[in-house]
């Protein structure tokens, strides 16, 4: 393969090939709002890569934000690249054409920087496949100074170890500022090391021959939030657990602290408008970052702290700009918990008053299960068809919801279901997880009971039209959450639970979907693994693993063979209960939430002790201590965390997570000290029940 093939040659290949593949517009570029800059006149060139197909990658907000920011800089350009679907991959390989960017059709190897988004584990093998399609060495250690800098960002980087061999550097946390620091550091390193030894093939001078990538790594490691795995050594105990992760170079900090922005960045508004249908064919505005609810299974709720709200007016201005610049019919207002956005009612009313007649539909995901949410959805739906309403109680009994710190009551859930069906919706989707710690078959059975109860309510209002869709996924305890020590439920138990639910969730009006326990295992070892998994990932890819999130393509056998060949055990990574004092493979990554806090909150979970939303009561998770400087520089109301300084009005602060109440079935001896079961933020929308 000529990995520096010229754009004109690539275009010729496309003309010969595209009509043979599915959805060829995935591979052409040229969409509205795509930015095509002058390649030769722009010194710093970044490829933004999403390791899944166009249809999914185009919906990734993180990359859309970086694309916009980078292209606004006159000296930089950013272009997109996605994983080709298998048919187009075969065409690329047989014609020996390298993977190329959609905008200018330059081969990936001709970029300065390739930044991969790593939002979830099932995409890891696709990263290797894309590097291979670009004709680049997979491992950072095998790349020379002439190769592009290969980066990763996104929540997958919070346990960087399984993919650590393949990236030069991995960005921990929010990328909007650090991306420039990395591109500039690379450029500076290049400038200092470039010689005059002729042309590299992409219009660049060759490096003087002795330059090694090591000096680039040293430079990158000094940027806050940038983890350079190759500057750390990992040692192991005889039992296979990690003994120590230690920097081997002065440039590398012992612990890499995530990056955050003190306030929400300006919203992106000039979204690329795809020609073909995509998964979320719409624009999106983050209305809030972070979440204060403290659900113990939720990695996003831990790693995206602190909560920062975007002012209502800023959201409204962004909606106007998006409509004008894209023509999209749909805008998603994104957050981890929309109901907790303090201006949510005002925002919805203002948008519908202004744009209600413009055939705009507005998505507001992650609403709480309460009647207020039904009001909001009703406003948003207006005259449009009301299809599905989504609840995510995640567990079906009050007890288990206390364990996971999502203390909705069954009673409230049913009351809300009644409101939903009575106001004309026909379908309620209910999401649960199985495999929570302390879960029994009774809790699993309760999923079916609850679904039946919801359906009965629907039948009462609308008869046979009522539908309940039950989605059940399996808990994969994620790094940096209070459940990070918990094992994944064993496969036989999961299969028995799924079979039980299958048997009980049959019949008119019920739909049941679940995750294959084999998929869960792949997700689990990739999210909880250590550095040795890089060898497994590479071997699995060689054996054909790719698109691990796609049921028809992913290859479980390839993974099992790769583990066997490396002498490692996937079950050991996924299903071993970890000791509290064990050094976790991701412990040198600091997400801002301290191990002490996570430990105490894990202990609370085993007592069924619920802690309040931390906007009501700060429990010193660690984020504020780490970012107090940033906190001081923003207005008091800008964060969910307490304002700092004397005499500020703020919520109570405790140095440990103190329970709001304790579940009497879990800890009968403790429960009386704490009082009755109450919702979180009891004072907010409704009076506390007795």
Partner 1 sequence: MSVNNMPEAAVQAQRLRVTYSHQGPLRYVGHLDVVRTWERALRRAEVPLAYSEGFNPQAKLQFASGLPLGTTGRAEIMDVLLTEVTDPAEFAAQVTPHLPAGLAIVAVAEAPIKTKALQGLLRSSDWQADVQTDLSADALEAKVRTFMDSASIEATRRRKSRSNTYDLRILVLNMRCAGQAEPGWQRLLMTLRSEPSATGRVDAVLEKLDLGEVVSRIERQRLIFAD
Q: Does 422 bind partner 1 (CB under 8 A)?
A: no
When the beta carbons of 55 and 613 are compared against partner 1, the nearer one is 55
Q: Does 356 bind partner 1 (CB under 8 A)?
A: yes
When the beta carbons of 18 and 187 are compared against partner 1, the nearer one is 18
Structure tokens at 400: 């288990």
CB of 422 to partner 1, least distance (A): 15
When the beta carbons of 105 and 143 are compared against partner 1, the nearer one is 105
365-404 footprint of partner 1 as x/- string (CB under 8 A):
-------------xx--xxxx-------------------
Rounded to whole angstroms, the Cα distance separating 407 from 421 reads 23
- Residues in contact with partner 1, counted by CB under 8 A, come to a total of 36
Q: Does residue 163 sit in helix, strand or coil? A: helix
Q: Does 19 bind partner 1 (CB under 8 A)?
A: yes
The answer for residues whose C-beta is within 8 angstroms of residue 272's C-beta and 6 or more apart is 31, 32, 33, 34, 58, 64, 67, 80
Rounded to whole angstroms, the Cα distance separating 655 from 315 reads 35
The answer for residues whose C-beta is within 8 angstroms of residue 174's C-beta and 6 or more apart is 258, 259, 260, 261, 289
Structure tokens at 323: 């409509």
Q: Which of 299, 278, 281 is nearest to 290 (CA)?
A: 299
Structure tokens at 326: 């894209």
Contacting range for partner 1; rule: CB under 8 A; set: 13-21, 158-166, 480-488, 557-565: 13-21
Rounded to whole angstroms, the Cα distance separating 176 from 186 reads 17
Rounded to whole angstroms, the Cα distance separating 36 from 141 reads 32
When the beta carbons of 263 and 278 are compared against partner 1, the nearer one is 278
Structure tokens at 81: 């690249």
Per DSSP, helices labelled H in 366-440 are: 371-381, 398-403, 410-422
Q: Which of 365, 295, 288, 351 is nearest to 323 (CA)?
A: 351
Task: For the beta carbon of residue 277, count every other beta carbon within 10 angstroms.
Answer: 10
User: Which member of 250, 349, 411, 565 binds partner 1 (CB under 8 A)?
Assistant: 349
62-101 footprint of partner 1 as x/- string (CB under 8 A):
----------------------------------------
Rounded to whole angstroms, the Cα distance separating 34 from 64 reads 10
First to last CA, the chain: 71
CB of 355 to partner 1, least distance (A): 11
Task: For the beta carbon of residue 248, count every other beta carbon within 10 angstroms.
Answer: 10
When the beta carbons of 36 and 495 are compared against partner 1, the nearer one is 36
Site for partner 1 in 519-578 (CB under 8 A): none
CB of 350 to partner 1, least distance (A): 11
User: Which member of 1, 18, 261, 300 binds partner 1 (CB under 8 A)?
Assistant: 18
When the beta carbons of 38 and 357 are compared against partner 1, the nearer one is 357
When the beta carbons of 254 and 327 are compared against partner 1, the nearer one is 327
Task: For the beta carbon of residue 582, count every other beta carbon within 10 angstroms.
Answer: 15
Q: Which of 384, 415, 412 is nearest to 398 (CA)?
A: 412
Site for partner 1 in 629-688 (CB under 8 A): none
Rounded to whole angstroms, the Cα distance separating 471 from 505 reads 11
Contacting range for partner 1; rule: CB under 8 A; set: 113-121, 346-354, 436-444, 488-496: 346-354
Contact between residue 219 and residue 231 where contact means Cβ atoms under 8 Å apart: no
Q: Which of 471, 395, 396 is nearest to 427 (CA)?
A: 471
Q: Does 191 bind partner 1 (CB under 8 A)?
A: no
Contacting range for partner 1; rule: CB under 8 A; set: 92-100, 312-320, 332-340, 350-358: 350-358
CB of 384 to partner 1, least distance (A): 6
User: Which member of 28, 493, 518, 566 binds partner 1 (CB under 8 A)?
Assistant: 28
User: Which member of 4, 7, 9, 31 binds partner 1 (CB under 8 A)?
Assistant: 31
Q: Does 24 bind partner 1 (CB under 8 A)?
A: yes
Contact between residue 99 and residue 84 where contact means Cβ atoms under 8 Å apart: yes
Rounded to whole angstroms, the Cα distance separating 667 from 189 reads 59
The answer for residues whose C-beta is within 8 angstroms of residue 683's C-beta and 6 or more apart is 616
Q: Does 465 bind partner 1 (CB under 8 A)?
A: no
Contact between residue 168 and residue 162 where contact means Cβ atoms under 8 Å apart: no
CB of 96 to partner 1, least distance (A): 18
Rounded to whole angstroms, the Cα distance separating 311 from 343 reads 8
Angle at 615 between CA 613 and CA 619, to 5 degrees: 70
When the beta carbons of 16 and 237 are compared against partner 1, the nearer one is 16
When the beta carbons of 57 and 290 are compared against partner 1, the nearer one is 57
Contact between residue 344 and residue 284 where contact means Cβ atoms under 8 Å apart: no
Site for partner 1 in 305-324 (CB under 8 A): 323-324
CB of 313 to partner 1, least distance (A): 20
Q: Does 277 bind partner 1 (CB under 8 A)?
A: yes
CB of 30 to partner 1, least distance (A): 4
CB of 378 to partner 1, least distance (A): 7
Contacting range for partner 1; rule: CB under 8 A; set: 112-120, 325-333, 489-497, 556-564: 325-333
When the beta carbons of 325 and 518 are compared against partner 1, the nearer one is 325
User: Which member of 193, 218, 325, 453 binds partner 1 (CB under 8 A)?
Assistant: 325
CB of 20 to partner 1, least distance (A): 10
Contact residues for partner 1, defined by CB under 8 A: 15-16, 18-19, 24-25, 27-32, 273, 275-277, 323-329, 349, 352-353, 356-359, 378-379, 382-385
């Amino acid at each position: 393969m000529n990995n520096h093939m010229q754009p004109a040659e690539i275009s010729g290949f496309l003309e010969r090939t595209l009509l043979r593949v599915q959805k060829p517009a995935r591979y052409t570029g040229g969409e509205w709002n795509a930015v095509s800059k002058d390649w030769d006149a722009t010194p710093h060139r970044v490829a933004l890569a999403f390791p899944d197909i166009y249809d999914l990658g185009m919906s990734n907000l993180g990359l859309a934000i970086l694309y916009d920011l980078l292209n606004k800089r006159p000296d930089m350009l950013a272009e997109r690249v996605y994983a080709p679907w298998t048919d187009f991959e075969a065409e690329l390989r047989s014609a020996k054409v390298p993977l190329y960017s959609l905008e200018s059709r330059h081969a990936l190897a001709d970029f300065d920087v390739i930044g991969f988004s790593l939002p979830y584990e099932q995409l890891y093998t696709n990263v290797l496949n894309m590097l291979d399609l670009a004709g680049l060495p997979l491992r950072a250690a095998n790349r020379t100074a002439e190769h592009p800098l290969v980066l990763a960002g996104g929540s997958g980087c919070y346990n960087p170890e399984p993919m650590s061999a393949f990236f030069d550097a991995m960005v921990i946390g929010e990328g909007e500022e650090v991306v420039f620091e990395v591109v500039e550091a690379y450029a500076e390193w290049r400038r200092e090391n470039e010689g005059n030894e002729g042309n590299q093939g992409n219009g660049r001078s060759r490096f003087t021959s002795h330059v090694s990538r090591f000096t680039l790594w040293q430079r990158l490691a000094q940027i806050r939030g940038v983890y350079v795995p190759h500057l750390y050594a990992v040692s192991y105990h005889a039992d296979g657990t990690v003994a120590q992760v230690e920097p081997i170079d002065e440039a590398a900090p012992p612990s890499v602290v995530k990056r955050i922005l003190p306030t929400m960045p300006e919203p992106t508004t000039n979204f690329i408008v795809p020609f073909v249908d995509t998964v979320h064919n719409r624009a999106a505005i983050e209305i809030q970052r972070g979440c204060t609810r403290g659900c113990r299974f939720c990695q996003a709720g831990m790693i995206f702290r602190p909560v920062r709200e975007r002012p209502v007016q800023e959201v409204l201005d962004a909606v106007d700009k998006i409509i004008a610049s894209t023509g999209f019919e749909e805008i998603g207002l994104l957050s981890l918990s929309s109901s907790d956005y303090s201006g949510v009612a005002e925002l919805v009313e203002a948008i519908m008053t202004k744009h209600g007649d413009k055939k705009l539909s507005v998505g507001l995901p992650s609403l709480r299960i309460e009647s207020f949410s039904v009001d909001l959805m009703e406003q948003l739906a207006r005259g449009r068809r009301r299809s599905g309403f989504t609840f995510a109680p995640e567990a079906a009994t009050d007890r288990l919801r206390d364990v996971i710190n999502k203390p909705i009551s069954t009673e409230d859930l049913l009351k809300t279901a009644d409101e939903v069906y009575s106001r004309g919706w026909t379908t309620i989707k209910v999401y649960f997880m199985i495999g929570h710690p302390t879960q029994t078959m009774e809790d699993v059975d309760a999923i079916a009971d609850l679904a039946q109860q919801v359906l009965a309510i629907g039948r009462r209002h609308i008869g046979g039209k009522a539908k309940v869709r039950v989605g059940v996924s399996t808990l994969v305890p994620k790094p940096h959450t209070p459940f990070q020590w918990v094992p994944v439920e064993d496969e036989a138990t999961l299969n028995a639970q799924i079979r039980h639910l299958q048997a009980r969730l049959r019949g008119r009006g019920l739909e049941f979907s679940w995750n294959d326990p084999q998929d869960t295992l792949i997700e689990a070892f990739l999210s909880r693994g250590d550095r040795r998994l890089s060898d497994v990932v590479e071997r699995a890819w060689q054996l054909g693993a790719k698109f691990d999130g796609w049921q028809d393509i992913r290859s479980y056998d390839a993974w099992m063979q790769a583990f066997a060949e490396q002498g490692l055990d996937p079950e050991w990574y996924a299903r071993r209960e970890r000791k509290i004092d064990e050094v976790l493979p991701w412990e040198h990554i600091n997400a801002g939430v301290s191990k002490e806090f996570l430990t105490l909150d894990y202990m609370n979970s085993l007592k069924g002790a619920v802690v309040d939303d931390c906007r009501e009561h700060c429990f010193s998770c660690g984020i504020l201590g780490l970012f107090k400087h940033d906190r001081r520089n923003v207005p008091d109301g800008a964060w969910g965390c307490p304002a700092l300084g004397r005499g500020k009005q703020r919520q109570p602060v405790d140095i440990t997570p103190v329970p709001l109440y304790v579940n009497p079935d879990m800890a009968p001896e403790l429960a009386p000290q704490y009082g009755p079961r109450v919702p979180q933020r009891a004072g907010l929308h409704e009076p506390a029940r007795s």
